[in-house]
Amino acid sequence: MVLDAPLAFSPRFQKYIWGGRNLERVLGRTIPDGDVAESWEISAHPAAVTPVLGGPLDGVPLSELMARHGQAVVGRRGRWATRRGVFPLLVKLLDANRSLSVQVHPDDAYARAHEGPRELGKTEMWYVLWARPGAEIVYGLEPGTTAASLREALRQGRVGETLRRVPAKAGDAFLIEAGTVHAILDGIVIAEIQQSSNTTYRVHDWDRTGPDGLPRELHLERALDVIDFEKGPQGPWVPEALPTEEGSGLGRELVSRSDKFVVERIRIPAGSAWRGTLGGETFEIWGALEGVAEVEGRGGAILLDAVGFSLLPATLGPFVVNAREDLTALRVYLPELPELPKPETDWEAA
């Protein structure tokens, strides 16, 4: 089958104790009753796989699409993912109506060794869609914090002294690399681009209890294994202007880059269009943050409105993003491959 049309997906919702109704109230999304914490928008992770919505592939889970078409979906830059049987990325919307736990994620090697051969590490990027006045995140540790001092602070109930708090407002982007201690604090809605992983090691949970009335599980020993205590102070990513066709009216900025994914912010005036071609190198994910767009390939088109996401397979060919209204969007793709290591290295097997 030729994958020559953009793909939309039915989201999968997660209910955690820190969720609320902001995905509905702020973003206008239709969500289930009760407190909803996350909407998994594009996912092949076993914890919540999203099925294709509409078109000839309607109802096909993304995991099955990967099993059938592998490299045609992810491209040459993602061939390691085809061999490993995973889709590289996961896209979520999160409503931090209450503060999330203070946590850390492992890198690929640690996840593979301790969580199973198909689990990836977790580097992620947060793009803030909405934040209450004065909102903050935990973004790393205070300089000089060591494993011993963090353990002692936790024992004495003064862990807050070790946490570095950073203001967060709409439009900010934060790259949270594996090994970085972090927490989304209350009153923030974000779009999250991350590796396809569901591994979280909780360091501290604000002394609260779960739905069963018991404290939620912490994972201090594994957290201490993976925390990067050498990482210095960080702040929001400073957007970097990228070139566009002269006179096109398009705006293009780099808002996050890592060895796992690249994220750009694209602005397209109403009535204008972004034209691209995917020839098998990488897939792209487009997410409309503001405005409405039609994303069109040779085999069909979908309507993308805020806040919605679409997967453009690596073999899509030529495509057009037509802005029906002034459009602000995220464009996500895999970075260029490094020089290939020997087959027995973890990168080749990861």
> Residue 166, SS3?
strand
Beta strands in 8-96 (DSSP E): 12-14, 38-42, 89-96
Over residues 114-137, mean pLDDT: 97
Domain range summary for the chain, segments of one domain joined by +: 12-226, 240-333
Confidence of residue 224 (pLDDT cuts 50, 70, 90): very high
The 10s digit of each residue's pLDDT in 11-50 is: 999 999 999 999 999 999 999 999 999 999 999 999 999 9
Over residues 230-235, mean pLDDT: 83
Over residues 176-198, mean pLDDT: 98
> Residue 194, SS3?
strand
Helices (H) and strands (E) in the chain, counts: 8, 21
Question: Which letter, b or e, does each residue of 234-247 get, where b requires 16 or more Cβ atoms within 10 Å of its Cβ?
Answer: bebbebeeeeeeee
Over residues 221-247, mean pLDDT: 90
One-letter amino acid of 82: T
Q: What is the mean pLDDT of the chain?
A: 94
Percent of the chain with pLDDT strictly greater than 70:
96
Confidence of residue 193 (pLDDT cuts 50, 70, 90): very high
The class that CATH gives domain 240-333 is mainly beta
Torsion region of 7: left, alpha or beta (phi above 0 gives left; psi -120 to 50 gives alpha): beta
The 10s digit of each residue's pLDDT in 296-332 is: 999 999 999 999 999 999 999 999 999 999 999 999 9
Query: What are all long-range contacts of 232-237, with beta carbons under 8 Å and residues at least 24 apart?
Result: 232/140, 232/143, 233/140, 233/143, 233/164, 234/139, 234/140, 234/166, 234/174, 234/175, 234/180, 235/139, 235/166, 236/166, 236/168, 236/172, 236/173, 236/174, 237/172, 237/173, 237/174, 237/175
Q: Are 184 and 137 in contact (CB under 8 A)?
A: yes
Query: Which is the catalytic residue, given 98, 112, 164, 202?
Result: 202
Over residues 238-248, mean pLDDT: 87
pLDDT reported for residue 247: 72
Of the candidates 134, 41, 132, 30, which has an alpha carbon nearest to the alpha carbon of residue 92? 41
Active-site annotation holds for 216: no
The 10s digit of each residue's pLDDT in 267-277 is: 999 999 999 99
The 10s digit of each residue's pLDDT in 86-97 is: 999 999 999 999
- Give the end-to-end CA distance of the chain in Å, rounded to a whole number: 27
Q: Which CATH architecture has domain 12-226?
A: Sandwich (2.60)
pLDDT reported for residue 339: 55
Percent of the chain with pLDDT strictly greater than 90:
89
Q: Which residues contact 169 (CB under 8 A, 6 or more apart)?
A: 128, 131, 135
Of the candidates 215, 219, 197, 214, which has an alpha carbon nearest to the alpha carbon of residue 206? 215
Helix (H) or strand (E) holding 156: helix 147-156
> Is 139 a residue whose pLDDT tops 90?
yes
Identical fold for domains 12-226 and 240-333, yes or no, is yes
DSSP 11-27: -EEE--TT-BSHHHHTT
d(CA 255, CA 262): 8
Of the candidates 83, 54, 185, 207, which has an alpha carbon nearest to the alpha carbon of residue 131? 185
Q: Are 113 and 318 in contact (CB under 8 A)?
A: no
